[in-house]
Each structure stands twice: as structure tokens, then as C-alpha cells.
Amino acid sequence: MFVDFFYILRDSGIPVSPTSFLRLHQALAEGLVSNLDDFYIAARTLLVKSERFFDIYDRVFAHFFKGAELPDFKGVELEAAALELLNEWLKHPEALANALGMSKEKLQSMKPEELLKYFMDRLKEQTGEHHGGSKWIGTGGTSPVGHSGYHPGGMRVGGVSMNKSAVKVAMDRRYRDYSIDTPLTQAQMGEALKRLRRMVPEGPRDQVNVEETIRATTRNAGEIEIVFDRSLRDRLKIILMIDNGGWSMDPYIEVVQTLFNYARAQFKDVKSFYFHNTIYDYVWEDPPRRYKGQRVVDFASWDKDTRLVIVGDASMAPYELMATDGSIHIEERSGLPSIDRLHLLSKLFAHSAWLNPTPKRIWPMTRTIGVVASVFPMFELTLDGLERAVTHLMSKN
Amino acid sequence: MSRENATVFSGASRYVLDEELAKIVNISMALEMPLLLKGEPGTGKTMLAHAIAESLSMPLLVLNVKSSLKLIEALYQYDTLTRLNDSRFGDSSREVSNIEEYIRMGKIGQAFVSDIKTVLLIDEIDKADTDFQDDMLDVLDQMEFDIMEIDKTVKARTRPVIIITSNAKKDLSDPFLGRCNFHHIAFPDQDMMRRILNVHFPSVDQELLDICVRTFYKIREFQGIEKRPATRELINWVRALRADPDFRPKDLLQGKIPFLGILFKKSSDYHQATQQTRRLRI
């Protein structure tokens, strides 16, 4: 009975276990379900174990029992799909087309929202891959959306930057030279791990050690002497935020991740998020920073004792940090400058540190490093810096 | 739903129960499975257990989970210190050589040895680590545990009604979820909230109630708040407003919100809220 229902649920991505399906039959057999409404509730409470799947369940249920059309759950939202499609496309950029259609003034006057709409509209019209021209989206041309187009205030939708006027993207790669010698390498992993091991909190001496107490008491001729041990403290939770934007960061991402993965056992939880240059409304759980966003304001409900470790070169154009619409990515512009978000994070997590892979001697040359360092205590991503970061993270206040 | 079942739950005096949740509770009781409740703080997860206990007149046992809690403490405790003390001074009525006299039942243990059926509330399970969670469900599955010190097995006389709550955003482990029924309580919508308030304030002026609820839902949307006010705060706030002789409901419409401290209990939240109420227009 309802075996099809079970399989449709599974195919739609809800992890339904056979045991729970049998339990549903037990409920049916015991006469706990007398009508469809009961069945809806009973099947959901028994089969679906997370509210994230409730919506899918509803739609599958409607499809199965009311004949409603079953949506394709594998499909993503149109906008995400559009970005994805375009990104794929732009991996093979051709030489810039010379065609000019829209005037520079007109392009400049368009607002980000208009650009996005323009982009979506074009995308709906477009049926074939396209390079150049002034209306369609492709890898060249002057359409304000798309990539490598010449647009003074345009937004960027992926691909490698080519045209200088895409000012934000140019900033991504400005510090490539700094990455020649990697401060922390795979070879130093063992040493670095030793330093991380110190991140274990100690509780007060408030637990009676029974065996030691008995021993001490007998040695004391029966006069009770109680021996206390340090009580175990809960292990630390770690949030790791990694700048995986420009390739200046590439050599360090793996090192840092491997490091914390090796050390995972001693932490209660290690969560990694990604961002590009600096943090706006969202950080992302997936390295391409596209699908699983985590709102920065929602960190308010996380455990305050979590240690926040941010890894990034903190090098960017000053306005990316200060301007209200500094984000390269249009969907993250909420009107708050990034610096506000950084301040919020530093307030939410009392214990935080910023690890910077660029050598300390060149920090004064980049203004944004100074600004970020005034928000988060900044340490070099070297063995020495790591050691001091750990000391800082473990200090009481 | 089997109506002949004597223990069917249909709400309590101060708890507004929606029909869906009532059915879920009844199914879980009939199948004798723990019910896992998730949802924002203040959606009445904990209150549900109290309501079940009240309406079915069963004793309620609450196990407040802490991160340092070990499973054995939830089952029983061997009070070595008292025994040591008794053996040294010998002025108690307890028999020192009988270890059983120094075994005290934890909350789960109490639920097992109780002569009548109990409601066992395991509150905020997400605070404990995964091992605790899985081991605990093993015990609850088998309905028995061993007391190592006296080599005795405690078997449950009656199977308690088990309600487990979790605030966690992330899911619990798969084996854990597999052994529970699941329900997510959404934050009550405005209509539901009015009904809840009406239960708590039977004689309240409906206009006041309406303005309070609308203001409250606006306030909940403030940015950067760590602990958003929930039902409990709203009830206390309405109580305070009614007790204040100077309060006029129209003040709320103009963004003058008294007693913000009842709604926002963290000083940083309070600060944020005072700033943002200045811009508030209902």
C-alpha cells in the first residue's frame, strides 16, 4: 500500500527510510488513520524528519492524492539557473567584439536592478550561444550584463576579467604578486596542528575524584580528604570563513581547510563558509558561493562562544568595504556597507581572529588591511601568527 | 484516530492546540514513539509537554539537557560522597554496605520506575553531543538500563510519553531521527497569536489586543536582534501594558513603545530596538 508514494518521496529528495514506512503501515493497521487528512499528518510526522522537506512533501502529497502537477525539484530558481548557465558559457570567452549598440551614457545610467532585469529579459529571449553584439548576452559586446563587456558601472556575472573598466573585478587580482612565497605550507602542517591542539578549554576544579579521594583518605588514617579534578568542558565550536575569491588566496585555502579538518576531532563542530574579498549580507556554504547562503544577521542566534576564524588577504578596493553597494554580486546589496557586517560579526563572536596570508611587512601598504585589522585582531598566516591567534582565541576576554 | 483509546489528548486549559499537532501527539502516543518537536524558541514546544501532562493528568518529568550532561546522570546517580561520609561518621539511618541505598534515579530512571504512566520531557536535546543523543534513544527504545554498581537491570514499568524538543537549526543525526516522530512548530501567525492571547487574557479589549499583536510582529522584524521576542515575552508585555494606567493604545501606532525591556532582554538587543523603534510606524 502506498509503495508508489514512498518511492516518489524518495525520488523527490526526501530521505525516507523503509523502517519509518513500515511504521506508517503499523499506524494504518492499528486504525490510527481514518481519512486522508489523518494520513497526511501521520505520514508526515512518521516519514519526514526535517522541516526543510515539508514543502516538498506537500507538493508530492498534492500530486499523489489530488493529481496536482509534480514540479521538478531538481530544477533551481530561474535566477540561479541563469547565473549558472552564463558562467558555464563564459568559461570560453572570445575576443571582444567591436560592435557598439547602446551608448555609454545610457549604460552608465542604468541601476543595478534594471541591469538585472535587462539580463533576465535577454536571457528569456536568447536561444543560442552568443558572442558579441549589443543586445544578447555572450562573452563580449557592450551589453551591460554579461562578462568582459565594456560597461563602466556594469555588474559582473563570472568569468575571468579582461576589460579594465570593470573596476571591481580588476581589484580581485591586484595583489597576485604577494602570493609567491606561501607563509604556511603543507610541510608545516604537523607543526601548525600542534598549535591548534592548544585550543582546549579547561573547567574549574569542581569534580570529586573518587579513587584519589579514597586513597588520600586512607593515607590520612580515615580522616576524609577530598580530591578534586578539573571538570571537562565542552569542546569548542569553530566557524571558519574563507575568502576564496581571487586566486591570490588559492594556495592557502587548502592548507587552512586541511589544517582544521585534521584538528576536527578536538572541536565540537567546525563549519566552513566562503566569501569573496569581504563579507556582505551572506556567506556561503558552497565554495562557488551560489547555492547555500547563510545570512550574516542569522549568526546572532549562534552560540556566542563559538570561535570565529576568518582567513583572507583583506585586500580590496576601499569602497568595497565602505560603500553601501560595494558588493561585486548584485544580489547581496542590501544597503549596508561591508564594514558594518564585519563589526556585527565581531560583536556577535567575542573570540575571533583574522588570519592574513600576506606578509605583515606589507600590511601598511594596503588601506583596507588596516581597516579590517581595526575590527578583527589580525594575525599572519604563519606558524608564529597561528600560535598567537590561538593564544588570543583562548584568552578569557 | 481511535476514539476508544482512553488517553487521547485534546488540549489543556492554557494551551491553544491546533488540530494537526493534536493528531501528531495522539499518533505518537499510540505508536509509543518519542515525538521530536522543533521550532523557534517561544512556539510552545516545552509548553506542549506541560499541557499533555495536565490534560491526561499524568506526572511530568523534565530532563533539561546541558552540554555537559552524561547519559548516566539522566538514568541514575551513585552518591559516593554521601556514602563516604556515612562510613566515616556513621550517624545516618542508611546501611553503608548496601550500595542500593545510595543510588538515586535520574529523570529517565524516575520515569521508568514510576507506577503510573508519566510524561517525560527531554528539553533542548540539541545541547548534548551526538553520542548522548543516540545512546539515550537506545535506552528509550529498549526501555531498560543497567545499574553497574549493583548489577541490576531497571526495566520500565510503564512506557512514558516522551516529548523531545530541539532548537537547533541543523538536523539531528539520522539514527536519532529514525526513532522519533517529527513535527516542526511554526511561529504562530497573527490570528493564532490573538487566540493565544485571548486564552491568557479572557477579558481583554479587542482593539488593544489587535494593536499589540500588530506592533509585536513589526518589532520581531527588527534587524540584528540576537534573541527575538517570542510568545512568552508578548504575554508579559501585554500584562504590563494593561497594568499601566498611563498607557494609551494609540501610542503604539506612533511608535512610542513602552516597556521594551520586557520584549528585549539582552542589553545589546535592547539598544538596537530602541534605535529602531524611532523609525517605526505601524
Tell me the average pLDDT across B110-125: 90
| Higher per-residue pLDDT: A362 or B2 | A362
Host H or E run for residue B61: strand B60-64
Instruction: DSSP for B74-132, please give it.
Output: HHEEE-HHHHHHHHHH--SSS-TT-GGGGEEE-HHHHHHH-SS--EEEEE-GGGS-HHH
Which ranges in chain A are annotated with CATH 3.40.50?
179-200+235-394
**Chain A interface residues (partner B, CB cutoff 8 A):** 15, 17, 19-20, 23, 26-27, 30-34, 38, 41-42, 45-46, 48-52, 54, 208, 210, 213-214, 217, 222, 224, 226, 231-234, 268, 297, 300-301, 344, 347-348
Q: Which residues of A touch B180 (CB under 8 A)?
A: 49
Confidence of residue B90 (pLDDT cuts 50, 70, 90): confident
- B27 and A42: CB-CB below 8 Å? yes
Question: Is it the case that residue A396 has pLDDT exceeding 80?
Answer: no
pLDDT (tens digit, 9 = 90+) per residue, A73-121?
443 344 444 444 333 333 333 332 333 334 444 444 444 444 445 545 5
Q: How far apart are CA A77 and CA A66, in angstroms?
A: 25
Tell me the average pLDDT across A243-272: 73
Nearest to A46 among B181, B223, B226 (CB): B181
> Is there a contact between A316 and A372 (Cβ–Cβ < 8 Å)?
no
Distances B239 to B207, B219, B225, B255, B271 between C-alpha atoms, Å: 15, 17, 23, 19, 23
Question: Is it the case that residue B166 has pLDDT exceeding 60?
Answer: yes
> Is there a contact between B34 and B181 (Cβ–Cβ < 8 Å)?
yes
> Is there a contact between A119 and A107 (Cβ–Cβ < 8 Å)?
no
Tell me the average pLDDT across A236-259: 76
Note the pLDDT of residue B249. Answer: 77
- A30 and B26: CB-CB below 8 Å? no
Note the pLDDT of residue B225. Answer: 75
Q: Which residues of B touch A344 (CB under 8 A)?
A: 224
pLDDT (tens digit, 9 = 90+) per residue, B126-155?
888 778 888 888 888 888 889 888 888 888
By C-alpha distance, the chain B residue nearest A17 is: B178
Q: Which residues of A touch B88 (CB under 8 A)?
A: 222, 224
Q: How far apart are CA B137 and CA B176, in angstroms?
A: 7
Architecture of domain B19-184: 3-Layer(aba) Sandwich (3.40)
> Is there a contact between B262 and B235 (Cβ–Cβ < 8 Å)?
no
| Higher per-residue pLDDT: B71 or A156 | B71
Beta strands in B95-246 (DSSP E): 103-105, 119-123, 144-147, 152-155, 161-166, 181-184
Q: Which of residues 206 through 225 in chain B touch A, CB cutoff 8 A?
A: 223-225
Host H or E run for residue A208: strand A205-208
| Higher per-residue pLDDT: B162 or A224 | B162
Look at A187-201, A244-258, B24-38, B254-268 and tell me which has the smallest mean pLDDT. Answer: A187-201
- A26 and B180: CB-CB below 8 Å? no
Tell me the average pLDDT across A131-137: 42
Nearest to A45 among B171, B182, B268 (CB): B182
Question: Is it the case that residue A252 has pLDDT exceeding 80?
Answer: no
Provide CB contacts within 8 A for A105, sequence distance 6+: none
Question: Is it the case that residue B165 has pLDDT exceeding 50?
Answer: yes
> Is there a contact between B77 and B104 (Cβ–Cβ < 8 Å)?
yes
Probe site for chain A from B23, B85, B270 (most A CB atoms < 10 A): B23
Note the pLDDT of residue B60. Answer: 92
Question: Is it the case that residue A133 has pLDDT exceeding 80?
Answer: no
Confidence of residue B176 (pLDDT cuts 50, 70, 90): confident
- Residue A1 exposure: Cα atoms within 13 Å on the Cβ side: 11
- A233 and B68: CB-CB below 8 Å? yes
User: If you classify domain A179-200+235-394 with CATH, what class do you get?
Assistant: alpha beta
Q: Which of B164, B280, B150, B170 is nearest to B214 (CA)?
A: B280
Distance from CA of B50 to the nearest CA of A (A): 21
By C-alpha distance, the chain A residue nearest B79 is: A210
> What mean pLDDT is reported for chain A?
67
| Higher per-residue pLDDT: A137 or B263 | B263
> Is there a contact between A355 and A386 (Cβ–Cβ < 8 Å)?
yes
Question: Is it the case that residue A212 has pLDDT exceeding 60?
Answer: yes
Tell me the average pLDDT across A244-255: 71
By C-alpha distance, the chain B residue nearest A32 is: B1
CB contact B84 to A (< 8 Å):
yes
Look at A37-51, A205-219, A322-336 and tell me which has the smallest mean pLDDT. Answer: A322-336
Note the pLDDT of residue B164. Answer: 92
Question: Is it the case that residue B279 has pLDDT exceeding 50?
Answer: yes
Note the pLDDT of residue A331. Answer: 58
- B31 and A30: CB-CB below 8 Å? yes
Tell me the average pLDDT across A309-337: 74
Distance from CA of A48 to the nearest CA of B (A): 7
Confidence of residue B121 (pLDDT cuts 50, 70, 90): very high
Confidence of residue B204 (pLDDT cuts 50, 70, 90): confident
Q: Cell numbers 563559538 correspond to what residue?
A: A306
Question: Is it the case that residue A209 has pLDDT exceeding 70?
Answer: yes
| Higher per-residue pLDDT: A119 or A240 | A240
Distance from CA of B239 to the nearest CA of A (A): 27
Question: Is it the case that residue A259 has pLDDT exceeding 60?
Answer: yes
Distances A332 to A229, A283, A329, B137, B235 between C-alpha atoms, Å: 50, 10, 6, 42, 36
Q: How many CB pairs under 8 A join A and B?
A: 84
Provide CB contacts within 8 A for A288, sequence distance 6+: none
> Is there a contact between A275 and A245 (Cβ–Cβ < 8 Å)?
yes
| Higher per-residue pLDDT: B201 or A170 | B201
Beta strands in A231-389 (DSSP E): 237-243, 269-275, 282-284, 293-295, 307-311, 352-356, 378-380
Q: How far apart are CA A326 and CA A324, in angstroms?
A: 6
- A41 and B27: CB-CB below 8 Å? yes
> What mean pLDDT is reported for chain B?
82
Note the pLDDT of residue B61. Answer: 92
Question: For a pLDDT cut of 90, what percent of chain B falls above it?
Answer: 7
Note the pLDDT of residue B3. Answer: 37
- Domain limits, chain B: 19-184, 190-277
CB contact B227 to A (< 8 Å):
yes
Q: Which residues of A touch B85 (CB under 8 A)?
A: 224
Confidence of residue A7 (pLDDT cuts 50, 70, 90): confident
By C-alpha distance, the chain A residue nearest B66 is: A234
> Is there a contact between B64 and B106 (Cβ–Cβ < 8 Å)?
no
Note the pLDDT of residue B62. Answer: 92
C-alpha cell at B30: 499510540
Distance from CA of A16 to the nearest CA of B (A): 9
pLDDT (tens digit, 9 = 90+) per residue, B41-52?
777 788 888 888
Nearest to A297 among B1, B33, B224 (CB): B224
- B1 and A38: CB-CB below 8 Å? yes
Q: How far apart are CA B194 and CA A337, in angstroms?
A: 38
| Higher per-residue pLDDT: A153 or A346 | A346
Confidence of residue A25 (pLDDT cuts 50, 70, 90): confident
Q: Which residues of B touch A49 (CB under 8 A)?
A: 36, 171, 177-178, 180, 182
CB contact B116 to A (< 8 Å):
no
Nearest to B30 among A30, A210, A213 (CB): A30
Q: How far apart are CA A2 and CA A24, in angstroms?
A: 10
Note the pLDDT of residue B163. Answer: 92
Q: Which residues of B touch A295 (CB under 8 A)?
A: none
